[in-house]
Amino acid sequence: MGTDSKDAERFLRQRRSLVRWLKEQGYLNSDAVANAVLKVPREEFVPSAFRDHSYAETPLPIPGANATISCVHTYCLYYEALDLSPGDRFLEIGLGSGYGAALARELVGEEGKVVSVELDEETYQFGKERLERTGYHDVFTVLDDGSAGHVDLAPYDKIAVTAACPGEPAEILPQLTSPGRMIYPAGGDAYQYLMLTELDANGEKSSRCLTTVIYVPLRGRHGKRP
């Protein structure tokens, strides 16, 4: 993975410290998500210039237009709310660095499926390469307009949109199973509401706001207009 044994041990200590902090702050309650954060080496998903800041709770720039790897606590918010579990078919809109897809792969296991769509070609190549070099060869990555989801491999048990939407992603929702869950940030440019939409076994929909967040705008045909 490009990390010597001394650095690997240092980064592992930092992951353990971060997990303790996330639990203390109330961001992390699930053992499954905690174990995924402990296992996935975030330092391998950031550019080399920022490796020493891999476990700081701050977004870090990655290749591509206005692209970042999010704070670790936001992945905990997403995946705990989704209850991402072994066997789930999971769609991620916004591959980014690939870190979120790697965490998801740990959570859904070999019996599950992770599909991640990225619009920006430079970001896509970075994320795909990072997944491959860390051994996540079975994550299905797609270079395409994710604002419409990815109907070719639908339906999905869980869906995460990792960029700010104008409202509920109506084009993506039909790709969700019943029951199923979709999480997405919706709102303005300054901040957004992190929304969880659920379909029950009869297809009845309910939505609720979890917290406020800050994400870059969703690009593409159904994303935010400039």
Task: List, in sequence order, the alpha helices (H) in 40-167.
Answer: 72-82, 99-108, 121-133
104, 84 Cβ separation under 8 angstroms = yes
**Catalytic hit among 17, 30, 48, 70:** 70
- φ, ψ of residue 5 to 5 degrees: the values are -60, -35
pTM: 0.95
DSSP letters spanning 160-183: EE-SBBSSS-TTTGGGEEEEEEEE
* pLDDT tens profile 100-121: 999 999 999 999 999 999 999 9
Domains of the chain: 61-213 (3.40.50.150)
* pLDDT tens profile 44-73: 999 999 999 999 999 999 999 989 999 999
Active site residue 97: no
* AA letter at 87: G
